Structure 1
Amino acid sequence: MAITRWDPFREVVALQNRMNSLFREMNESEGPLTTASFVPAVDIYEDTKKVVLKLEVPGIEEKDLDIRVENNTLTVKGERKFEKEEKEENFHRIERKYGSFFRSFTVPSTVDAEHIGATYNAGVLKLELMKKPEAQPKQIKVNVGGAQKQEEPELVGAR
């Protein structure tokens, strides 16, 4: 008889795998033309003057994007609509996601909420959140020797 070490989380992992399988089967059985919401990928980076967010939202028109800042939260909403043509088409596979999306981000206190810019180019929504002037780094001059250099007095009449 083999001795097996008891793992209390094995049952939880097995249950999670079964639930994931069940949800996967439900999504596949809905049919090819069912709309599904999606979450666009985002890159976030910052430099000394601004915080930048880039969201991938190809196929979405500018008028279908809604960008708001409220209570230190930046919210981006949008919708990608399924274009169904009048002629009958035989779809073999639909992998692109359609429907609405919603993303929200906490805005750092260093950002000036009054100076946020948005551009949309080639399916990428770029948001630039400018930092407050007091949050930007300042150069501090270091004096050598701990004392400031004093100017020499000019001698009058000396040649």
Structure 2
Amino acid sequence: MTLVKFANGQKNNGLNPLFTDVFDSILNDTFLSERFTAKTPAVNIAETENEFHIELAAPGLSKEDFKISVEKNILTVSAEKKAETEGTDKKYSKKEFSYNAFTRTFTLPESVDYTKIDATYTDGILKLNVAKKEEAKIQTREISVK
């Protein structure tokens, strides 16, 4: 029998607890975490008899911001939006730059017809319809008993 010791909810990575508390407070600061966390859109993927449906939640963008490409069996969806605001107050000029960008990649199965991929963007949701090849579609037929 092996005896395994648990930390009972405490982080213990071999360092002094004060040392880890200092770094936890710096790295988990909301100012830093909001600026440096990667923001990728949530995705829903569904499959029907004839096609795959991919939905990305990407509000605040326009359809010109998206770049969608297929290379071999990799579908890549990326977007970049640059927002500039300018205001003047007394002798000072203030500019604020904001860049929002993301890239999502999807590995497509062999059953996909790469020539029949459609994309629409409405109400903050990018919808991709990826058609299946004819031979990959489920075909049903009735078999008679002899």
The change in CA–CA distance for 1:84 and 1:24 in structure 2 (over 3 A counts) is farther
Q: CA deviation at 1:108?
A: 1.1
CA distance in 1, matches of 2:25, 2:113: 45
CA distance in structure 2 between the partners assigned to 1:21 and 1:53 by the alignment: 38
RMSD between superposed Cα atoms in Å:
3.3
1:63-87 deviations in Å (ceiling 9; x for gaps): 1100001120100000233342536
Residues 133-148 of structure 1 mapped to structure 2, 5 A cutoff:
133-143=134-144, 146-147=145-146
Q: Which whole-Å CA distance do the structure 1 matches of 2:136 and 2:39 have between them? A: 35
**SS in structure 2 of the partner of residue 84 of structure 1:** strand
**Partner SS state of residue 134, structure 1:** helix
The corresponding residue for 2:75 is 74
Residue of structure 1 equivalent to 2:93: none
Post-superposition CA distance 1:86-109 (Å, at most 9, x none): 367xxxxxxxx9511010010111
Give 1:51 shift. 0.3
Rounded Cα–Cα distance in structure 1 between residues aligned with 2:99 and 2:42:
14
Distance 1:124 1:45 in 2: 15
Is the partner of 2:85 in helix, strand or coil? Answer: coil
> Equivalent residues in 2 for 1:80-119 (5 A)?
80-86=81-87, 99-119=100-120
Which residue number in structure 2 is paired with residue 63 of structure 1?
64
CA contact (8 A) 1:76 1:103 kept: yes
Contact 1:78 1:102 in 2 (8 A): yes
The 1:137/1:21 distance shift into structure 2, 3 A limit, reads farther
Map Cα deviations across residues 14-61 of structure 1 (whole Å, 9 max, x no partner): 99x866654322x6159x9x6865201111001000000001111111
Distance 1:117 1:109 in 2: 18
Q: Is the 8 A contact 1:38 1:98 kept in 2?
A: no
Which residue of the partner structure matches residue 5 of structure 2?
6
Letter in 2 for 1:49: N
Distance 2:104 2:41 in 1: 8
Larger Rg: 1
Contact kept, 8 Å, 1:73 with 1:106, in 2: the verdict is: yes
Give, in whole Å, the separation in 2 of the partners of 1:111 and 1:21. 48
Q: Secondary structure at the match of 2:31?
A: helix
Q: Structure 2, unaligned stretches of length 5 or more?
A: 90-97
Q: Which has the larger share of strand?
A: 2
Structure-1-length-normalised TM-score? 0.67
